[in-house]
Amino acid sequence: MKSLAAIVALAALTLPAAADTAQQFANKVAISDMFEVESSKLIQEKSTQGAVKDFARKMVEDHTKTSNELRTTAREIKGIELPMRLDADHQKKLDALRTASANQLDQLYKTDQIEAHQTAVKLFEDYAKSGDNAQLKSWAQKVLPDLGHHLEMAQRLPSAPAPTTGSGPAPKR
């Protein structure tokens, strides 16, 4: 009996970690989508950069769509319950955006978006490859290209506030 336990323990250490279960995957996606939507709505209100606001609008549209798809899929898969609020880590990031100065806001949002989409791409790749639910695996494969595109878009966001034009005196010649 002891040798069986030792073999199981050794196998657990040497085998790669199993993919998330359907419930774990659904939880992570739901929280990620909530963060995307809430942070992007905030940016639409507070940012002064057109490119950042346009990206935020796209994130609200796309992540609202994936949230609705996930909700529908979760109802079809018995036993999956989706969280209704952000976890502590995502809430902390959202709070940081809410209290960021105008000079910090867009850069903080950009950093959050790059990190969030890198994490999402990895999550969806892993689940699409070895998830435990065929319906969610198929959905992950379908959504993955959009997440990769979102990551590329986030990486291209401007890093500093765009200079304002048309205000103040004309430059001296």
Instruction: Please give the residue range of the domain that contains residue 104.
Output: 19-155
Domain of 92: which CATH number?
A: 1.20.1260.10
Cβ 23 vs Cβ 79: under 8 Å: yes
Within-domain flag for 5:
no
The answer to whether residue 141 sits within a structural domain is yes
- 23 in a structural domain: yes
Residue 121 lies in a domain: yes
Encoding tokens for residue 33? 């989508």
Residues 6+ apart with CB under 8 A from 145: none
How far apart are the C-alpha atoms of 119 and 113, rounded to whole Å? 10
The total domain count for the chain is 1
What does the longest C-alpha to C-alpha distance in the chain come to?
89
Compute the CA torsion angle 9, 15, 18, 19 (nearest 10 deg): 160
pLDDT digit string (tens) for the chain, length 173 residues: 444 344 333 333 333 445 689 999 999 999 999 999 999 999 999 999 999 999 999 999 999 999 999 999 999 998 899 999 999 999 999 999 999 998 899 999 999 999 999 999 999 999 999 999 999 999 999 999 999 999 999 999 998 654 444 444 444 43
Confirm whether 10 is domain-assigned.
no
Rounded to an integer, what is the distance from CA 91 to the centroid of its chain? 13
CA distance 136 to 119: 17
CA dist list (Å): 101 to 52, 105, 111, 161: 16, 6, 15, 12
**C-alpha gyration radius of the chain:** 20
Q: Which of 86, 88, 107, 83 is nearest to 97 (CA)?
A: 107
CA distance 128 to 125: 5
pTM: 0.81
